Structure 1
């Protein structure tokens, strides 16, 4: 037992917490990655059924291969694995990252990070905690009550100080490290007493705990008839929140002496530095009334107890402890889950922690769930852990919370190791596990070049020479003179500034004294891109119009890069204009032109801004709404409002559609709808290719959608944003071309979705707003005036019949290997548009209505409105004439092609 009369927390190290706040009359508790909901009668966390579950048979198809190994610091290494597994007959792959810590190395340590400034109830991202505590690597930690102040569900010891005690919940394991650096994973319970000056004793239920529903005891509510201690690590004024049935009597103890007693009411203060507050209720409050008085001494004693050995453990003998969920691995094998895992099923990002059989290595594990990785089931995670050498291991909080940061070699700051389930968004969490180094500065061991590995033509970037010492920690090389050179003409370099000259790969070499380092820099050419997209795809064709047109390139590997202005060449069709600093300005419009094009070219890859006299058609700005707007939902308990209100921020002075929702009393997959015009909706009268809407985000991480009913009676759900990960106003542009909507259609409602999987990771209350909904409807804009009708051609005949009128052409259509080829000129003569031929690049640029199509002779790939696509056949060059695949070109331009086998006749319709 440890006696601590003043409960001084000054030695506490940094630890962290976070999740979304919820409504006043309901509590939402996150445990095992899911939410349980109950009305707050008295306490917080509801009783969660245990039902210990046996593990499923591990997938024999699971395999993992190490693909990289990088030293972070002396004693800590990051390993990346690629895994594959067969699920329901299909192969799935993904990535997992492991930080292996060598406990035999005296220069490396691990500890818990807590919130901001090492305090509970403050919450912070894993990266933020790592930066604040100067960790060289870190992952997210324990589960916590999403509606509470921000305290872990499990126990926490940091720097030998007991920060929070384990909750009385069955099957929850924790990882601990003893003072002599021995790892252990076990269930732990808490025992403690306070002793009055008269010798009377009162049992303590815990330290720094939020309200919850205990399991396996006599009380349904944690704080009823119980005594808890709150130290200055608990910064919130509420102790705890949502414990309305347990009206407290509180005792302030400073330097071991009682200085205040508040009977039947909480003390109106946060805990003073170096002090603690004894919070009591019921029979525990009666003890205070009978045995305690201001000016008397009060002492405490407490310990943890191992559920496996029954041994009492002084928290002061532990370096650290962090709570988790179920045990996953024991004795080097997958073991039965110690708690129901039905709520944390599926294929998710995962965080786990374990150690080797000899106790030398700690394995800090994060499984990725992003565009590059499919996530893991818990059973697959067990297979992975045993395959890398974990002898005993447990599950930490996963899903959207899963976050890993690490400090690359020679760098001074940690970076996100991989995209989370929410992209680069890091959730604020209750605590995390940090890796630290205390190595002294050593001698220079190696150097490396730091800077971008990919550039675009015309782009410049700064590179620096960075070093690391014998302990693999960064070392300052700024005093040395560095010389730079490039291996070829793709990149030029001077004084650490490299400029991309042409497509290719160059090796940069930096030398300082006798040391040198190299790095490869790839300059992307047009053939390396999958798309080239302007910031604004459509606009009004009117003199004086200014549009923001920054251009973003996406490589074939998926990387997005802003294209420098110097890398682009602009061409204007149908108007006179200019582009300066990412702004397109229309100076004048050519007589009779209704559709113009601003074509941007990057190393032969093109994209276009389509400008029309109508442009995007304004559909609803909510200024003069004459139809009803209403809130609806699918789930009992979900409440909210949908109404036209005054805008805020960038939309102040404008009316907007505001949708507020409160899902805290609901369950399952929940929707909050803003319904337009009752069940009728509002009509979108013509075929629309793009939808644009301004959205005020609430950073709830929920899903944002729109619901249409099309002309065929089908319901079509359109994703506006997979994740609402922003605050303030943002313009969202949605490509409708792939949804198969039959127009005219009806927009019925816009809405927020909170899906059941990972529901604890998203806010259940919030407000979003909508304004300035518009659609690009080609028939009302860029395709107005284009000829319509029917044209027909016969293979081998030099004639074209358009709307019944036959005329001679100088090149007959050709059928080759089942594909009909024609000179594109005749199609455009009949149905509108233009084509230009580049004899050097063998490219054909076709412009028609809202389409900009670029084809290349003998290449099956083509570019449509800045996006690379692939066809089955390519244009050909025959006897000096360029012939294009008729069906490919016509259908991409919005025309319909029919083939009559008997007469060898092609019919094109618009």
Structure 2
């Protein structure tokens, strides 16, 4: 079996190498980041050409594994050339699956190649935007945690931060940090929106839970941190406001540790350090803090939470990102000015096909990136009916296995090396 698997990988990667070489010749270079429907821009033309002079060239698809193919493309724009990588995944294939890749903790980052290699993924692209800096909050630890919800192997890992607390480009008017691209147990991809539903129940009262392993809590809310959060400080959760990420940190706060259903510790400020399995740390700000202060040592507390979608069917995995394309047309309000490298996930064939795309960030050779509005047009040209914008710039990363089963970066990240990220979308095949 190992010899046969090695042969399959060798043949596949020889074909992939030939395709990449052909792509290098083509572009003159070498190759090394029920849901609520968003409004559609009805005044814009169908995005099928980005401009009248746009020319899209694609290499022949190469089979990486059963149901998974790779191709490269070049998009010629007046300001320069856009180069990219595309993975086409047949979700209806019995040997194919997709899952969210993540570090060992929610508040942690790792390179896409490491995340893919640890799980033996055939290929992967980077995922959601994340808490990357805290210049406006000196002394507050950067968490590295993602903006939106995370679901991996059917488990809800975290909820979405308030819209005003996100990192990344401006959200379209109808978008939310709760927006996700998800893959259901029905082997179909879909755009959805995942909201946290939870309660904290005790003799002192029953209160809504407003956060789950999030680097930012809504004003007046209570958030839960589990062992999956990791050892990073929870102080960031009480900084900023629902509308302003850079606003100061609250001083009206409280933290309560619940272990096996009883309060075992209380504190006036959010703490740090790992959380033991079987324990939950509750952090409150403003009114949420005043409520938590009513709890005392030894008191029974029951905590429940789940992520609820707006479309039927359980999700096997979900990654945060805002919609850019619905029904083959760009959504309204997409940015048309900022040009950078982009990563996107698209959906075709009624959810049966997943398209994972990342641009190439190699410097020079008159190479350019895309605006978010142009990204929507590109994904439509590549065959998507719906698509979401994932983290871009230095985070854009596209990896595949080589002939020896080792994961290799196929694009040129703009930083000159991989940027550690909060999560990624990984593609798996039983071969």
Shared fold (TM-score greater than 0.5)? yes
Cα distance change on mapping 1:233 and 1:301 into 2, 3 Å = closer
**Richer in strand (by share):** 1
Give the unaligned 5+ runs of structure 2: 1-32, 34-38, 134-141, 164-173, 240-248
The 5 A counterparts of 1:855-874 are none
Post-superposition Cα deviations, 1:812-835, rounded to whole Å, max 9, x if no partner, equal: xxxxxxxxxxxxxxxxxxxxxxxx
Match of 2:144 among 143, 147, 150: 150
**What is the aligned length?**
358
Match of 2:116 among 120, 130, 143: 130
**Contact 2:129-2:321 at 8 Å conserved across structures:** yes
Q: Aligned to 1:298, what secondary structure does the other structure show? A: strand
**Contact 2:148-2:161 at 8 Å conserved across structures:** yes
**Contact 1:190-1:305 at 8 Å conserved across structures:** no
Question: Structure 1 residue 319: deviation in Å?
Answer: 0.4
The 5 A counterparts of 1:335-350 are 335-337=331-333, 341=335, 345-350=337-342
* RMSD, aligned α-carbons: 2.7
Post-superposition Cα deviations, 1:170-191, rounded to whole Å, max 9, x if no partner, equal: 6133101122222111343322
**Contact 1:224-1:245 at 8 Å conserved across structures:** no
Residue in 2 that maps onto 1:564: none
**Contact 1:171-1:187 at 8 Å conserved across structures:** no
Q: Aligned to 1:233, what secondary structure does the other structure show? A: helix
**Contact 2:258-2:265 at 8 Å conserved across structures:** no
Residue in 1 that maps onto 2:210: 205
Cα distance in 2 for residues equivalent to 1:226 and 1:377: 35
The 5 A counterparts of 1:368-407 are 368-370=360-362, 371=364, 373-407=367-401
Question: Structure 1 residue 266: deviation in Å?
Answer: 3.3
Question: Structure 1 residue 145: deviation in Å?
Answer: 2.1
Residue in 2 that maps onto 1:296: 300
**Contact 1:230-1:277 at 8 Å conserved across structures:** yes
The 5 A counterparts of 1:495-574 are none
Residue in 2 that maps onto 1:180: 186
**Contact 1:157-1:163 at 8 Å conserved across structures:** yes
The 5 A counterparts of 1:258-273 are 258-267=262-271, 269-273=273-277
TM-score (norm: length of structure 2):
0.76
Post-superposition Cα deviations, 1:522-578, rounded to whole Å, max 9, x if no partner, equal: xxxxxxxxxxxxxxxxxxxxxxxxxxxxxxxxxxxxxxxxxxxxxxxxxxxxxxxxx
Cα distance change on mapping 1:268 and 1:404 into 2, 3 Å = closer
Cα distance change on mapping 1:385 and 1:53 into 2, 3 Å = closer
**Richer in helix (by share):** 2
Post-superposition Cα deviations, 1:108-137, rounded to whole Å, max 9, x if no partner, equal: 21111123x3x1222111112112222221
Match of 2:412 among 411, 419, 435: 419
Tell me whether 380-389 or 225-234 shows the greater mean CA deviation: 380-389
Cα distance change on mapping 1:288 and 1:93 into 2, 3 Å = closer
Q: Aligned to 2:350, what secondary structure does the other structure show? A: coil
Q: Aligned to 2:60, what secondary structure does the other structure show? A: strand
**Contact 1:357-1:392 at 8 Å conserved across structures:** no
1:190 aligns with 2:182: no
Cα distance in 1 for residues equivalent to 2:379 and 2:301: 50
Residue in 2 that maps onto 1:248: 253
1:234 aligns with 2:229: yes
Residue in 2 that maps onto 1:323: 320
Cα distance in 1 for residues equivalent to 2:181 and 2:354: 10
TM-score (norm: length of structure 1):
0.37
Give the unaligned 5+ runs of structure 1: 1-32, 34-50, 212-221, 440-470, 472-910
Q: Aligned to 1:64, what secondary structure does the other structure show? A: strand
The structure 1 segments of at least 4 consecutive aligned residues displaced by more than 4 Å after TM superposition are: 51-57
Cα distance in 2 for residues equivalent to 1:303 and 1:94: 37
Question: Structure 1 residue 247: deviation in Å?
Answer: 4.6
Cα distance change on mapping 1:376 and 1:223 into 2, 3 Å = closer
Q: Aligned to 2:187, what secondary structure does the other structure show? A: coil
1:111 aligns with 2:99: yes
Post-superposition Cα deviations, 1:382-426, rounded to whole Å, max 9, x if no partner, equal: 222112210100111111211111113x32111111212233x11
